[in-house]
Each structure stands twice: as C-alpha cells, then as structure tokens.
Amino acid sequence: MKIYRSLIVLAALLFITTGCNTRSTAKPSSLSAKPVKEYQDLVVGFAQIGAESEWRSANTLSIKEEAERLGVELKFSDAQQKQENQILAVRKFIAMKVDVIGISPVVETGWEEVFQEAKDAGIPIILVDRRADVPEDLYVTYLGSEFREEGRNAARKMIELTNGNAYIVELQGTPDSAPATDRYNGFREIIKDYPNMLILDSQNGDFTRARGREVMEYFLEEYGPTISALYAHNDDMALGAIQAIEEYGLRPGVDIKIVSVDAAKVALQAIIDGKINVSVECNPLLGPQFFELALKVVNGVPVEKRVPSIETIFDINNAAEALPTRKY
Ligand code: AHR
C-alpha cells in the first residue's frame, strides 16, 4: 500500500515538472514566427543599367509601375551603363537597409565583393534580366530570358530566310554582358552545321541605335553588297543599321535579310514595313514577377534559383496582330 502511494506521488510530481517545463519553454506560435510582410511593408532597391535601348526603358517602366501599383517603396538607380555606378548604388541600398536589392548587371564579372557585402548585411539580391558570374550563394534567384536560346532561334530563322546561304555581319551587344555572350554563342551553335552560312564580320554595337548605325556603315564600306544578312543582338542596333543600309542604297529586309532580338513595338512596325524579317522576343516586362519574388524571399518562402521569362518569335505572320496591344 505504502509502495503504491509513493508511486502515485512520484507520477504526480513527474507530471507537474514535465508539464511546467513544456509550458515554460514552448512559445505560442504567434510570438515566435516573424511577422509576415505585405507589399506595402517592402523597401526595395533596384540598380538599373541605364536607358540604352527601347527594351531597357520598357523594363524600367515595368519595375516602376508595378512598385507603384503594389505600394512598394522603390529606391531606383540608373547607372548610365557604368558598372562602378551600379556598385555604388548597391552600397547605397545596403546603407539604407532596404529589404531586397534587384540588379541587372551591366557586365557579368566583378560583382563578388559587393554582393558579399549585401549578404553580410543580410540583404538578399535578386538578379533581374542579366546574370552575374558569382557563386550561387551570393544571390537568391535569377529572373530573366534564355539568351542563348534567343541566339539559337535567331540562327534558325536566318537559315530559313536565306536557305542556308548567307554572308552575315553581326552587331554584338555590350562586351562581357550576358546577352551579348549568349546570343553570340547560341547563334554559332546552330550555324556551325551550315557550311554556307558565313560570318563576314562581327563587331560591338553596344546595344544602341547610334552605334549600330556607325558599325553598319563600316561593314558596308568594307564588304559592300556582298553582305546578304545582318544579325543584330537587339532591335535598336538593327534600326540604326537600317538607316545605314538605306543610305548606302540597299533595301533592308530584301537585299540584306535582318534578324534581331527584343521584338519591341518599333521592330514589329519595321517587320510590317518589310525592313526587319524576324525579331526574337526578349521580354522586358519583369516588374510583376520581380516583386512577387521579392515578397516571397523576404517572407522566407522558397523560390527557384532560375526563373525564365516566357517568349516567342515575331515575323510577317504575327507582327501586325501583336502590334496594337504591344506594351513596349
Ligand atoms: O539584357 C537585355 C538586353 O539589354 C536587351 O536585349 C537589349 O536591348 C538591352 O539593352
């Protein structure tokens, strides 16, 4: 009986102690969880490249309009195509203690130090449009186009347009930028199997209309009417080149077949006018996806390391239908 009573006392004591311990260490979930942020709570820094093309202006507008629509506080910086300005912008955003930093790196290399600074400050980096050559732990996700596939598609279309026989000149985008490198390589990956697709020359046109025109003038001086095709890494350079071709007395789109990338409104109009044959789409309207990712990241929701944008190809068969509703 005595033993029986002692056992009851022991059990009661055990119940009281473990019960107390459980209650005193476990916090109610509402106190331990980080408060969930809404769009209106977010402060986001965005380090843009500049305004070198129609594409870039549309991209900037998409970011700014979406921030405004969602009520996000946006700190925006335009680096005027200079990497050092983008680095300064990131440092400024770190000092401001923004929640997230978005950046379109103008070139691929040279970001490790400043991205590490952001990581040390606990500020996640989202790459938008262009990738950076850094270890994967220095950014949370990369949202943007498949530039290499754009280059491959440009080559496939060029082969169709010229029946696999062409003397090509190429206008490249900004040296060491992800789209220029990938569009260059993707194009070659396809035409290497076509011995009569010959690249006469390939030069930097810096993604701008002025430079595209200047370099095309040089190509025409150098190779004249031998040129039968132009591959431009973006529409702006193609449009600059069209001016040079017309001044030279040749017909763009007819004497010289033209394939470019972006599919901006101006290029769709040039397709309808018969001056550009094909423009491979590169979608700049990344604002909605960017802020959706930013909110997830801040709230600790897992995101994919790579988020591609959805794209198509435009030629005379679909340009007119797309033009009236085209946003850029
Ligand atoms: O990074 C995307 C590229 O940058 C676009 O194709 C070009 O027009 C822009 O300047």
Query: In this predicted model, what pLDDT tens digit does every residue of 195-238 receive, in sequence order?
Result: 999 999 999 999 999 999 999 999 999 999 999 999 999 999 99
The candidate with the shortest Cα–Cα distance to 67, out of 297, 295, 311, 283, is 295
The candidate with the shortest Cα–Cα distance to 112, out of 59, 120, 169, is 120
CA of 211 to the centre of ligand 1 (A): 14
Residue 288 burial (CB < 10 Å; 0-12/13-18/19+)? Answer: middle
Q: Whose CA is nearest to atom 10 of ligand 1?
A: 53
Residue to mutate (ligand 1; options 207, 280, 311; most atoms within 8 A of CB): 207
Residue to mutate (ligand 1; options 129, 131, 142, 182; most atoms within 8 A of CB): 129
pLDDT computed for residue 20 by the predictor: 33
CA of 175 to the centre of ligand 1 (A): 12
Residue 105 pLDDT more than 60?
yes
The SS3 call for residue 280 is: strand
CA of 229 to the centre of ligand 1 (A): 21
pLDDT computed for residue 24 by the predictor: 34
Q: Alpha helices of the chain — where are they, by DSSP H? A: 2-25, 29-32, 54-70, 83-96, 112-120, 147-162, 178-191, 209-223, 235-248, 265-272, 287-298, 319-322
Residue 12 pLDDT more than 70?
no
Ligand 1: nearest atom to the Cα of 282: 6
Distance CA 240, CA 232 (A): 10
- If one compares 219 and 5, the residue with the highest pLDDT of the two is 219
pLDDT computed for residue 26 by the predictor: 37
CA of 204 to the centre of ligand 1 (A): 14
pLDDT computed for residue 34 by the predictor: 74
- Supply the mean pLDDT for the chain: 92
In the numeric block, which tokens belong to residue 198?
A: 């010959």
CA of 133 to the centre of ligand 1 (A): 18
CA of 81 to the centre of ligand 1 (A): 12
Residue 32 pLDDT more than 80?
no
pLDDT computed for residue 29 by the predictor: 45
Mean pLDDT of 58-78: 98
Residue to mutate (ligand 1; options 55, 57, 107, 235; most atoms within 8 A of CB): 55
Q: What is this structure's pTM?
A: 0.88
* Residues having CB within 6 Å of any atom of ligand 1: 52-53, 55-56, 129-130, 179, 207, 234, 261-262, 282
